[in-house]
A and B are shown apart, each in its own frame.
Chain A
Amino acid sequence: MDSNDFADRLTASRIWRSVFRHGWSGSPLDRSLATTSNVFFHLHPVKVDRRSLRWSYTFGLGIISAILFLVLLFTGALLMFYYVPSVERAYPAMKEIQLSVPLGQFTRNMHRWAAHLMVLTVVLHMARVFYTGAYKPPREFNWVVGVFLLLLTLALSFTGYLTPWDQLAYWAITVGTNIAGYIPLLGTALKQALIGGVEVGQSSLIRFYTLHVAVLPAIMSLLIAVHLWRVRKDGGLAANERVEEE
């Protein structure tokens, strides 16, 4: 059996067909199905305008933010293998990650620097969208989705900041959550709901941890998917709308 034969048998097999629904023969039908039945096209249009690909239009900042989010999911999952969200064990777990887990310090570095960088790129992406007037109709709603993505990015970063349970973490969260206490009427209740008591302690750690590794990443993933899908549904990037000036 030569390799072509094998490829044909493979792509005709029931298992292959259950995944791809089309063969790989190069016939026009297979070729068009290869693109139109591709999951890639939930978040991308089939064709994109050359103008929207110009580097000087987007600086790639939206994509870079999404990529950093993926890097954070990956390195975050690795850190979760070793981390324990308890006041007694969190800090020793951090020491262990840094000193005895293979590539532990390195993984932690990547997670932290990617997080800081993501706050930066999301803010710059917002400025880019603003100054290119890309929030104008029909993209108003996607801009609003974007504002929520910005707030989510900050919330993810802030909740993660407490997890190492060192002095830096403890006092940064104490200072940060004190501000929430000044919201009229709701402030005190909100602050206590957030840190689970009157001062930062075990109940704050477990709340911040749960928000950081489960609740907020889930919302973020969904909202990024909506955001990208909506870019396609709004007719691609606003660069396509551009009218040349004489």
Chain B
Amino acid sequence: MTPTKTGTGKTPPPETIDNVFPRHSGKTYALAEVMPGETPMVGKGPEGTVFSYPVVLLWEVVLFLGVTLSVFLFSLFKSAPLEEIANPLVTTDPAKAPWYFLGLQEMLEHMHPLAAGVLLPGAFIAFLVAVPYVDGACAGAGRWFGSTRPLRSARRHVGWIALYGLVVMPAYIALDNAFTLRELLRGSAPQWIAQGLAPGGILVVLVLLPAVVVRLRRAPAREVVMALFTVMFVAAVVFTVSGFLFRGPGFELHWPWRMPDGYNPWDAL
């Protein structure tokens, strides 16, 4: 450590651990200081708590037994599918991705793969990561649909927005299937508009619309984020269900109970 000259106007050397706990000094004590600051444990007393050992442990054991038993019983009755050996020369019809990617495959039917498979899902993941940084207010945490405003209005909003998604998203799929925007615009607009911007942009507007309305009504960030999450979640579910249940041979839309050629989507789990 460099020696300090006092009174020269120079800044003193930075505090190091050696100032507080001198080495080799032979002292049997040290100075400690209480600093102002917070940890997540502030304000959490033992009131209303139980010992996690064994209470939580018991819960976990019970859940473990319940979950394994359910999977066990289901596996007794329903077997995993195994089709013919892989053959690169024979395409299956329909050729479907695993069920959790069928939302993506459904989107591919409506727009360019760059928009459907990369940009929009990428934006969804980016939105998820950003959620806690966009809505950083602590109020309303730990409560279903909690917000700074009265609970009932927030819950009602989520209900309406979910309903909106349940109407708008199937309508998007059905209308585009009937009129095929890409075909209508072919020739009259450049490809990146016909295949990408137009169908992708419409979907983005449909997703943003409720959030914009909520925002204009001066709702807190929590409710804006809640509107966005709800529409995206419902959209993901609708697209996945459509790709999984409603797409038959040729990846054409059919009613699940009227699939041609004896195709049963459930066989492909």
Report A's interface with B, CB cutoff 8 A.
35, 38, 40-41, 44-51, 53, 57, 60, 63-64, 67-68, 70-71, 87, 91, 94-95, 98, 105-106, 108-114, 116-117, 119, 126-127, 130-140, 143-144, 147, 151, 154, 157-158, 161, 164-172, 174-176, 178-180, 182-184, 187, 199-201, 233-243, 245
Contacts and interface: CB of A to CB of B under 8 A. Distances in A.
A151 B128 CA distance: 12
Contacts of A114: 71
A168 B92 contact: yes
Interface in B149-187: 150-151, 158
B31 interface: no
Given A50-B48, A67-B67, A166 B222 contact: no
Contacts of B117: 179-180, 182
A170 B95 CA distance: 9
B59 A53 contact: yes
Given A38-B53, A140-B132, A170-B88, 10 more contacts: A67-B63, A116-B269, A119-B100, A131-B145, A132-B141, A132-B146, A136-B141, A144-B132, A166-B85, A167-B87
Q: Which 7 A-B pairs have the closest CB atoms?
A: A235-B40, A170-B86, A109-B75, A140-B132, A238-B142, A179-B117, A112-B80
Given A71-B67, A110-B71, A144 B57 contact: no
B86 A167 contact: yes
Interface of B: 39-41, 44, 46, 48-53, 55-57, 59-60, 63-64, 67-68, 71-72, 74-76, 78-88, 90-92, 95-101, 104-105, 108, 113-114, 117-118, 125, 128-129, 131-133, 135-147, 150-151, 158, 222, 226, 229, 233, 268-269
Q: Is the interface of A mostly helix, strand, loop or mixed?
A: helix
Contacts of A64: 63, 67
Nearest to A139: B132
A195 B198 CA distance: 32
Contacts of A201: 88
Contact of B85 (A113, A165, A234): A165
Contacts of A53: 50, 55-56, 59
Nearest to A238: B142
Contacts of A71: 67-68, 71
Given A47-B49, A136-B135, A169 B60 contact: no
A147 B114 contact: no
B90 A172 contact: no
Contact of B50 (A48, A133, A184): A48
A124 to B, nearest CB: 10
A176 to B, nearest CB: 5
A45 B268 CA distance: 43
Contact of A164 (B53, B82, B129, B229): B82
5 contacts: A138-B40, A147-B125, A179-B101, A241-B141, A242-B146
B138 A241 contact: yes
Nearest to A48: B52
B98 to A, nearest CB: 5
Nearest to B104: A179
B49 A106 contact: no
Contacts of B50: 47-48, 50, 53
Given A127-B233, A147-B125, A240 B142 contact: yes
A47 B52 CA distance: 5
